[in-house]
C-alpha cells in the first residue's frame, strides 16, 4: 500500500494542476493530512506552485500544484 505522501504525489502527477481541496476529494485523505503532505513535497522540490487563483467552489484564493519529478520514479 502507498503512503499518504505517495498517494498525494501520484494524484498531483495525474491531475495537475490541482488544489489541495481537489487532492482531498480525489484521494479521500483528510485536508489536514493533505496539507502536511503537500508542504513536505514542496520542501522536497517534488512539486511546485504553478499559480494562485480563486477556487470556484469556495471563492478563496488557492494554490494550484504541479509535479517537478521524473515521472518514471512513481512506478
CATH for 41: 1.10.10.10
> Domain of 43?
4-69
Is residue 63 assigned to a domain? Answer: yes
Is residue 75 assigned to a domain? Answer: no
Chain position carrying cell 519529478:
69
- 18 vs 72, residue with greater confidence: 18
Task: Determine what percent of the chain is predicted with pLDDT higher than 70.
Answer: 91
Cβ contacts of residue 74 below 8 Å, gap of 6+? 6, 9, 10, 13
- What is the number of domains present in the chain? 1
Is residue 45 assigned to a domain? Answer: yes
Split at pLDDT 50, 70, 90, the class of 1 is: confident
pLDDT of residue 37 exceeding 60? yes
Is residue 74 assigned to a domain? Answer: no
Task: Determine what percent of the chain is predicted with pLDDT higher than 90.
Answer: 84
pLDDT of residue 75 exceeding 50? no
Is residue 40 assigned to a domain? Answer: yes
Is residue 50 assigned to a domain? Answer: yes
Query: For the whole model, what pTM was predicted?
Result: 0.86
pLDDT of residue 28 exceeding 90? yes
Q: Three cell numbers at 41?
A: 513535497
Is residue 61 assigned to a domain? Answer: yes
Amino acid at each position: 500500500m502507498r503512503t499518504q505522501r505517495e498517494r498525494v504525489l501520484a494524484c498531483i502527477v495525474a491531475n495537475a494542476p490541482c488544489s489541495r481541496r481537489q487532492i482531498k476529494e480525489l484521494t479521500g485523505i483528510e485536508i489536514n493530512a493533505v496539507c502536511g503532505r503537500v508542504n513536505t513535497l514542496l520542501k522536497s522540490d517534488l512539486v511546485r506552485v504553478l499559480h494562485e487563483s480563486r477556487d470556484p467552489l469556495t471563492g478563496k484564493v488557492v494554490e494550484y500544484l504541479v509535479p517537478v519529478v521524473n515521472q518514471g520514479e512513481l512506478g
